[in-house]
Each structure stands twice: as C-alpha cells, then as structure tokens.
Structure 1
Amino acid sequence: MTADETPADAPALPASDSQSFRRAFKDLRDGFAQRELWLQLGWQDIKQRYRRSVLGPFWITIATGVQAAAMGVLYSALLHQPMRYYLPYVTIGLIVWNAIQNSILEGSEVFIANEGLIKQLPSALSVHVYRLVWRQFLFFAHNAAIYLVMVVAFGLWRNLSWTCLLAIPGILLVFANSMWVSLVFGILATRYRDIAPILSSTTLMLFVLTPVMWSTKALEDRGGSVSERARLVQIVPTYHYLEIVRAPLLGEHIVLHSWLLVLTITVVGWIAAILAMKQFRSRVPYWV
C-alpha cells in the first residue's frame, strides 16, 4: 500500500467546525466566562495609563470636564443658548460621544493591539473585545461624575422625573453596540489594514454631523424652513444614540423612533458580528 492509499474501512476524519455558528457562540460564551481575566486587564489598562500620577484615573474626568466647559461656554455664546441648559447638554453629548468614538477607533484595532496575547495566550478571541468594552465603560463611569455635578450646580434635578431611568437601558444599548462594532470592524481591520484610517476619517465626519456641540433646537428657533434642515440631522445614526441617553438625563421628551432605530441597528449589527465570527474567527491569529 502506497502512502497515498488508504484502507477502504479506514474511519473518516471528522469535519472541521472552525467555521460554524456553534464555535462562534462558544467563543462568546467562553470569553464571557473568563471575566476575571478581562475585568482585571481592563482595569490594569487604566492604571497603567496613569501610573505615577497623583490623581490617577480622575484625569479622565478632569480632561472631559475642561473640554465640555470650554465648548459649552463657547457654543452657548455663538448659538445664543442659555448656559444652564447648554452646558449640561454639551457635557452629556461629549461623554456619550467619547464612548461611541473610542469604540469605533479602538475597536478597529482591538486584535492588532493584542497580537502578542492572541498568539501566546490560549483564550477566546472575544476576551479582547470584552476587555475593550469594559475599559470604555470605566471611562464612561468616571466621566459620569461630571453629570452629577451638573445636576446639582444647574438645578437639573427640578426637571427630572422617573423617565430619567430610561438612560440606563440607553447606556446599555450603547455598549451592546460597542461590542458588535469592535467584533466586526476589529476582524475587518485585521484583514484589511486600510479600514482603520477610513474609520478615523468617518468618525471625524460623524462628529461634525452629530449634534454633540450644537443643538437642533438652535436651528429650529430661527423659524422658517430651517426646521426642515434640522430634521436632516436624524439621518445620522449617531444622533439617535446620543438622544436615547441625553434626553432622559436632561428631562426632555423621549422620542420613540430613536429607540426603535437603535434597537434595529443593534439587532442587525449583532447578526453581522455573529456571521463575522463564524467565518473569520479562526483566521484572526494568522492575520495579526
């Protein structure tokens, strides 16, 4: 019998399931089960960034607070908006936007940045995504302290009702989207290295188009056909992510279609993430 021949009764080799939905879901489950690892790594990332600093991670809060104060004062004067309303508006918008922007930019490099761990550490691929999202949540939690200061300083508590609790599912939706964004763009950017600079330019464009520093109310107050142009802002998806968090925290009217649109994008995005994990999860270690 030659080397190329096999016996007729030889057992068939099992088919590889590396590109199956079962392995994709298993990776997500196993990654979540290793939460002690990614919780520790995410916290260590923040500690390492501010090592030997007196204030440590609170520099995150200070930097965001200074930026929000400068932008809020400037744009309230330019757009003739009352300071007591506009400064909290800009602050919340900036806090949420930072979470969205960092999820896109850092998510696109999540596997590239962890090349050493992926090749040496026997863990689920999703561990690195959980680590990234956890780190961004810690940043968000530090910045949320600025909002609490605004509530007291500007008397926002007078406008708040039980509907402010809707900000909690809004925040959860933002970070649920951060996960699928990191999975999809992380895999694509690992294979095609041009994706990361494209996303960097795209997020800059979205920042200009999204009412983070400016308000649609400022446009509508001018009357006429401007209100029609203000509605064009709703075409930008990031506007709705800001609204489902910012509107409840400011005690404003909750827009149902923003919630429906975000939920739809979340479902579609996670379907794309599962498909990407099924098809390309096993190839990422070779691409990095």
Structure 2
Amino acid sequence: MTYVAPTPPEGLARPPMALLDLSANMTRPARARLARTDMREGLALLRLATILGWLDIKLRYRGSLLGPLWLTLSTMIMVAALGFLYSTLFHMELRDYLPFLALSLTLWGYIGTLVGDACLCFTSADGIIRSVRLPLSMHAWRCVVRNVLVLAHNIIVIVGVYAFFSIWPGRVAALAIPGAVVWLVDSVAVCLLLGAVCARFRDVPQIIGSVMQIAFFVSAIMWTPDQIGGEKLWLRLNPFFALTELVRAPLLGHLPNPVTYASGIGWSIVLCLGAWAVFTRTRGRVAFWV
C-alpha cells in the first residue's frame, strides 16, 4: 500500500512528492537473518534471563518458608508413596523400582512444567515485549532457566534415593551429559515454538495440556519397559520416551538402546527445525499478538 500526499489548494505551491510504502515485502532470507540476530542477542543476554528467571521463582514463592523446596518435598513424598504402592502392584523389588520412579517423576516434572510455561512464554511477558526492545529469544531463555533451577532443587530426591539404597550408576552416567545438552537445546526450541503458536491461538494451551496428560501414561514414567516385554517399536518412536531415555538410562547405569537414541536425536532435529520455521515466520508479529 502506497500513500501519496493530497493535491494542495489552488494558488499554493505543491510540496515535494511524499511516498510512504507500507507493503510487507520482507523476503525469507531477510526474516531468517533477523531471527539469527535475535537468537544471538538473546544468548548474549543470558545473564539477564537468569536474573529474571530467579526473580520469577522468588516472586512465585514469596512469603513461603521453604520456597521452591516445597516442590522437592512434594516430589519426595510422591516418590516414596507411589514407590511402595506400585512396587507391590507390579511385583517388583523396591530397590530396583524406586530409583527408576524417582528419576522418571523428576525428569517428567521438568518436561511437563516446561511445556506448560512455554505456552505462556510470550504472553506472560507482554508488558516487557510491548515496552522494551529486547530479543524475543531472551524470554525463551528466561523460561528455560526458571525450570532448570527448579529441576536443580529436585535432584536432591534422586541423590537421596541413590544414597538410601547405596546405588550409583558408575561411569556410564557421564553419557547423560550429552542428553542434558540435547534437552537444553530442545527446551529453547519448545519455548520459541509454543510461545509463538499459543500467542496467536489462545486455545492451544488447553490442547497441549490434554496431550501431556496422555503422554504421561504412555511414555514409561510409572511403569518400566520390561513390564511390556521390552522397548516396543511404538515406545521407541514415542518422542517423550526417547528423549527421557537419553538422560534416564545412563543415570540408571544402562546404555540407551541405539534405536531409542536415534529416535531421540531425530525428534530433536524435527523439533528444532519446526521451531526455527515458526520463529522466523512469526517473530515480527508476536508483539501484536500478546
């Protein structure tokens, strides 16, 4: 759309032609270049994202005696209660089942909370987005940092269970480090993807919540793969199970199945590509959606 200055009244000199071009003709490479700049500037502001993430936790538990340790206490009670119950129902040794359950619930707590926060990644920061010029990826890092700090508190549960049974995974636990790096990259990708989609379509968070409830029961969180005769193909192709196994299996002293490992890496690549496509397309519109 082009705006042209109106013709002046008779007898007055015509001013210079004024053209205001409002056409949206940004090319895909230009959007990709701006998205890369946004990601680079957001990473440079990681310290600010960490401060804001820690401030979010302090405000959430303001006036609380234990703060985020309440989550650790509730997770500890849940692991103990469900461990004794389900080990009896599944006819499993408590020494074998409780470490698995502690790891599964702790890791799933991070996944479930992160996905829920990712849906509100941009809409919850609408005041900052509208008033301060900051890279949008910084808000994604803020969400990730907040959930990583909560996960760090809940690691106490895992260490406590291992110490109680005198069980240590050994050197194979070092393989959980690459899995944790994959989780970190995927966490940022989830925030960029769901943050933009949920800012545009406000009913998507309810759909995501229902999907996560179903995923909890079909992703071997409460039950072990051995109870269904090993890792079936449908289980290995489950993105939640595959990504969980990247970290859980080494911490239990096992090597991840190669197919499960390949599935987790493959789903991570798909997630990152999808997040990049959505972010480059919607980055300039998020400020109008929140």
What residue number does 2:12 align with? none
1:72 counterpart (83, 87, 92)? 83
- Code of the residue aligned with 1:153 in structure 2: it is F
Q: TM-score, normalised by structure 1?
A: 0.88
Runs of 4+ in 1 over 6 A off after TM superposition: 4-8, 12-15
Matched, 1:24 2:35: yes
Q: CA deviation at 1:39?
A: 0.7
Could you list the runs of 5+ residues in structure 1 that have no partner in the other structure?
221-226
- Code of the residue aligned with 2:140 in structure 1: it is V
Matched, 1:194 2:203: yes
Q: Percent identity?
A: 33
What residue number does 1:267 align with? 269
| SS of 2:285 mapped into structure 1 | helix
Could you list the runs of 5+ residues in structure 2 that have no partner in the other structure?
8-14
| Aligned 8 A contact 1:243 1:258 in 2 | yes
What residue number does 2:11 align with? none
Superposed, 1:1-288 pairs within 5 Å as 3=5, 20-157=31-168, 160-220=169-229, 230-288=232-290
The 1-side partners of 2:217 and 2:240 are apart by 11
| Matched residues, number | 277
- Code of the residue aligned with 2:191 in structure 1: it is S
The 2-side partners of 1:17 and 1:68 are apart by 52
The 1-side partners of 2:22 and 2:248 are apart by 56
Q: Which of structures 1 and 2 has the bigger CA Rg? A: 2
The 1-side partners of 2:240 and 2:54 are apart by 27
The 1-side partners of 2:201 and 2:67 are apart by 36
The 1-side partners of 2:274 and 2:117 are apart by 19
Q: Spell out, residue by residue over 1:157-190, the C-alpha distance to the aligned partner (whole angstroms, 9 max, x if none).
A: 2xx2211111122122122211111111111111
| Aligned 8 A contact 2:172 2:253 in 1 | yes
Q: TM-score, normalised by structure 2?
A: 0.88
What residue number does 1:224 align with? none
| Aligned 8 A contact 1:92 1:147 in 2 | yes
| Aligned 8 A contact 1:206 1:238 in 2 | yes
More relative contact order in 1 or in 2 (CA 8 Å, sep 6+)?
1
Q: CA deviation at 1:232?
A: 3.3
Q: Spell out, residue by residue over 1:81-102, the C-alpha distance to the aligned partner (whole angstroms, 9 max, x if none).
A: 1101111101100111111112
Measured on the aligned residues, the alpha-carbon RMSD in Å equals 2.5
Over 3 Å counting, the alpha-carbon distance change for 1:72 and 1:231 in structure 2 is farther
The 1-side partners of 2:6 and 2:276 are apart by 39
